[in-house]
A and B are shown apart, each in its own frame.
Chain A
Amino acid sequence: MESLGVLLTLPMNPYLEAELHRRCHLFRLWESPPARRKDFLRANAPSIRAVVGNAFVGADAETIDALPRLEIVASYSVGLDKVDLARCRERGIRVTYTPDVLTDDAADLAIGLSIATLRRLFDANRYVRAGSWKAKGDYKLTSRFSGKTVGLLGLGRIGLAVAKRAEAFGCPICYHSRTRKPNVNYKYFPSVLELAANCDVLIVACSLTEETRRIINRGVINTLGPKGVLVNIGRGPHVDEPELISALVEGRLGAAALDVYEHEPDVPEELFRLENVVLTPHVGSATWETRKAMADLVLGNLEAHVLNKPLLTPFL
């Protein structure tokens, strides 16, 4: 696919970048300074037929409009909130993503974050590394994870994988999603508020759409309550972040584990001081194994497109 002009929006993976460079005609968006970006796009638009974006920089309306020859957006992510799907539909542009290959990592992280938050693992680490264990005994009790009710917001691939893992800890599972899922034994709640009222740990694992923007709002947070735990492995904009912070500070929400934020990579500093949070820098799929699999999927989709074969993981 040497003739395929591919616009890579960010340096997201050395292997992916090397392969795209080797096998396609690669344009690196970040090599042009932001102020000159429009010119960069205009200059190269005749050659660019594919965009590879990720969860940070995808293909928004402006980018799509600047690329009249764009045929396919192959996202290095499973979330497509940074791709203007409506525009793609209008133009008949294909969109692929990376489902399944990162399901395990995201689910593993959700459980790891849940236990780490309830058991205050970060705090324990900090305590020992500060040399505090020599100085004083610490009999602070933390909350058990096993047997806690896990509420899933979104029961797609990732939600189901989280549920399967949580079940091994004896956790009752409940969920809310757009529609009730058939063939699923978990208790369904028709609203996120009812979900929050009936679970101990609420895990956000749905896609970001206009309907789910700030779905975790003050009401949900207050309902989850002073003993409740919020785990966000979805997207930052799922949560009303300022509201979350004040709830954590005031104790209206027990604890939170966040892998995503409204304005990554900027994380509100008020969170840094809190003991009842765990903060990770969007590492939901950040393992060697999975990122390589995601890269191979992107490359495979592009190749299929060029060869006029069925796309491996089409969304549109």
Chain B
Amino acid sequence: MRLSGLPIPEPSKFSLPVLKTRQPLRRFAPAPAMMSVEKPAAETPAVEREHLPPVLLLRPLLSHFHDALAPKFRFLKPWESPLPRDEFLAAHAGDVRALLCVGPFPVDAGLLACLPKLELVVTGSAGVNHIDVAECRRRGIAVTNAGNAFTDDVADYAVALLIDVLRQISAADRYVRRGLWPIQGDYPLGRKLGGKRVGIVGLGSIGSAVAKRLEAFGCTILYYSRSRKPSISYKFFSNVTNLAAESDVLVIACALTTETYHIINKEVMQALGRDGIIINVGRGALVDENELVKCLMEEEIGGAGLDVFENEPAVPQELFHMDNVVLSHHRAVFTPESFHGVLEVVLGNLEAFFSNRPLLTPISE
């Protein structure tokens, strides 16, 4: 299960068709039992299970997720059937009203067409770029996401990446572990965080949480967003290039859509300048990765802290040797607290749906 941290989409921001990412399915090494074609032993007797509301899964859940939810819902598991997926759905999922997707498996128009009774898509991620939100809206299907379950951890991670890049924590650690301190002397000086102008790209819940933290370090906060936020005192920019021109650091925390694809491009990087730093905790495709690598190699920007990449798990190898780059394998949300939080949100949304109560974290229309 890979859960990605992005802010809740703003109202009427995603009326355009959503970009589907091509991220390969990164899962735990599948336990053979989960991939077998025989039906698994039921946790509850078949008769009782029949009364549980059915929920369609597309991929196996991590065991703690499964164990928490299985007593309350009857999971339909297409991968356990010898039938091809569409036939399975036609045979078994004709009445299914809810789909749970945990991980960036695409929920596209083709899939939705096989589920005529679908009313709800629950995703265990903050980002919904893997879901054809426009198609869901057309079909009257509600979509819920992780809400604020990931906000703190992603914001913490963004700050940690930034301090690491500026103060070279990971690079200096490598220096020490290689035994170089006694031989080559003091590590080269880093750069001070206080007083830096930090441009937040996307001031949703994660962007705001990053801003709040960095203010305590004496940073000046600027932001780009689709529209100005009336109650926010940070300086607003309607254009990312202009934001970059007045920033020392860019923190990318917006949702990935067709509009924001490669929003951090060559022009933005040049505006950011030679000492500029890019921190990406959104989606890899928000940044033109080839251009980023080129700018880093030619020292046209000062450094980067990256938790996400365009073609995970592939990471451009040119970055491996750069001490001004901090790399992480898309794990900003990998804490027990976030996992627990998102489980609660997923469970809460499913329970609300099946008892006709308002959903907890619907994405806005």
Measured CB to CB, the residues of A under 8 A from B are: 104-105, 108-109, 111-113, 115-116, 119, 121-122, 124-125, 127-129, 131, 133-134, 136-147, 164-165, 167-170, 264-267, 269, 272, 278-283, 286-291
Q: Are B191 and A267 interface neighbours, CB within 8 A?
A: no
Q: Which residues of B contact A143 (CB under 8 A)?
A: 335-336
A116-B163, A121-B328, A144-B152 are known; give 15 further A-B pairs, CB within 8 A: A105-B192, A105-B193, A112-B169, A115-B160, A119-B156, A121-B326, A128-B329, A137-B26, A144-B336, A168-B213, A267-B176, A280-B176, A281-B175, A283-B190, A286-B167
- Kindly identify which residue among A119, A133, A168, A269 contacts B313, using a CB–CB cutoff of 8 Å: A133
Q: Does B179 contact A (CB under 8 A)?
A: yes
Assuming the contacts A121-B169, A170-B152, asked whether A142 and B334 have C-beta atoms less than 8 A apart, the reply is yes
> CA–CA, A122 to B163, complex, Å?
13
Q: Are A137 and B191 interface neighbours, CB within 8 A?
A: no
Q: Are A128 and B328 interface neighbours, CB within 8 A?
A: yes
Q: Which residues of A contact B167 (CB under 8 A)?
A: 105, 108-109, 112, 283, 286-287
A108, A164, A269, A279: residue with the most chain B Cβ atoms closer than 10 Å = A108
Q: Are A119 and B194 interface neighbours, CB within 8 A?
A: no
- Kindly identify which residue among B164, B166, B185, B213 contacts A121, using a CB–CB cutoff of 8 Å: B164
Q: 16 A-B contacts, Cβ less than 8 Å apart?
A: A116-B160, A121-B160, A121-B161, A121-B164, A128-B320, A133-B313, A134-B314, A265-B185, A269-B179, A279-B176, A280-B172, A282-B186, A283-B168, A286-B186, A286-B187, A290-B192
> CA–CA, A289 to B168, complex, Å?
15
The chain B residue with its CB closest to the CB of A114 is B160
Q: What's the nearest-Cβ distance from chain B to residue A148, in Å?
A: 10
Q: What's the nearest-Cβ distance from chain A to residue B274, in Å?
A: 14
Segment with Cβ contacts to A, from B39-47, B215-223, B262-270: B215-223
- Kindly identify which residue among B170, B175, B216 contacts A167, using a CB–CB cutoff of 8 Å: B216
Within B299-340, the residues touching A (CB, 8 Å) are: 312-315, 317, 320, 326-329, 331, 334-339
Q: Are B331 and A138 interface neighbours, CB within 8 A?
A: yes
- Kindly identify which residue among B62, B152, B170 contacts A122, using a CB–CB cutoff of 8 Å: B170
The chain A residue with its CB closest to the CB of B158 is A115
> CA–CA, A291 to B339, complex, Å?
42
Q: Does B212 contact A (CB under 8 A)?
A: yes
Measured CB to CB, the residues of B under 8 A from A are: 1, 26-29, 62, 152-153, 155-157, 159-161, 163-164, 166-170, 172-173, 175-177, 179, 181-182, 185-187, 189-195, 212-213, 215-218, 312-315, 317, 320, 326-329, 331, 334-339
Q: What's the nearest-Cβ distance from chain A to residue B308, in Å?
A: 12
Q: What's the nearest-Cβ distance from chain B to residue A48, in Å?
A: 25
> CA–CA, A272 to B181, complex, Å?
13
Q: What's the nearest-Cβ distance from chain B to residue A13, in Å?
A: 9
- Kindly identify which residue among A133, A146, A283, A290 contacts B172, using a CB–CB cutoff of 8 Å: A283
Assuming the contacts A104-B192, A144-B153, asked whether A125 and B327 have C-beta atoms less than 8 A apart, the reply is yes
Q: Are A121 and B170 interface neighbours, CB within 8 A?
A: yes
Q: Which residues of B contact A105 (CB under 8 A)?
A: 167, 192-194
Q: What's the nearest-Cβ distance from chain A to residue B221, in Å?
A: 12
> CA–CA, A165 to B216, complex, Å?
5
> CA–CA, A119 to B177, complex, Å?
19
Assuming the contacts A112-B164, A141-B339, asked whether A278 and B169 have C-beta atoms less than 8 A apart, the reply is yes
B26, B215, B217, B314: residue with the most chain A Cβ atoms closer than 10 Å = B217
Q: Are B156 and A112 interface neighbours, CB within 8 A?
A: no
The chain A residue with its CB closest to the CB of B211 is A168
Q: What's the nearest-Cβ distance from chain B to residue A78, in Å?
A: 16
- Kindly identify which residue among A113, A134, A138, A281 contacts B181, using a CB–CB cutoff of 8 Å: A281
The chain A residue with its CB closest to the CB of B337 is A144
Q: Which residues of B contact A136 (CB under 8 A)?
A: 29
Q: Are A111 and B176 interface neighbours, CB within 8 A?
A: no
Q: What's the nearest-Cβ distance from chain A to residue B181, in Å?
A: 4
The chain A residue with its CB closest to the CB of B306 is A128
Q: Are A108 and B177 interface neighbours, CB within 8 A?
A: no
> CA–CA, A290 to B195, complex, Å?
12
Q: Which residues of B contact A168 (CB under 8 A)?
A: 212-213, 215-216
Q: Which residues of A contact B159 (CB under 8 A)?
A: 111-112, 115
> CA–CA, A146 to B335, complex, Å?
11
Q: Are B181 and A129 interface neighbours, CB within 8 A?
A: no
The chain B residue with its CB closest to the CB of A293 is B192
The chain B residue with its CB closest to the CB of A128 is B327
Q: Which residues of A contact B177 (CB under 8 A)?
A: 272, 279
Q: Are A141 and B160 interface neighbours, CB within 8 A?
A: no
Q: What's the nearest-Cβ distance from chain B to residue A171, in Å?
A: 10
Q: What's the nearest-Cβ distance from chain A to residue B304, in Å?
A: 12
Q: Which residues of B contact A281 (CB under 8 A)?
A: 172, 175-176, 181, 186-187
Assuming the contacts A136-B29, A287-B192, A291-B189, asked whether A147 and B152 have C-beta atoms less than 8 A apart, the reply is yes
Q: Are B182 and A129 interface neighbours, CB within 8 A?
A: no
> CA–CA, A144 to B159, complex, Å?
13
> CA–CA, A169 to B211, complex, Å?
11
Q: Which residues of B contact A140 (CB under 8 A)?
A: 331, 334
Q: Are B216 and A134 interface neighbours, CB within 8 A?
A: no
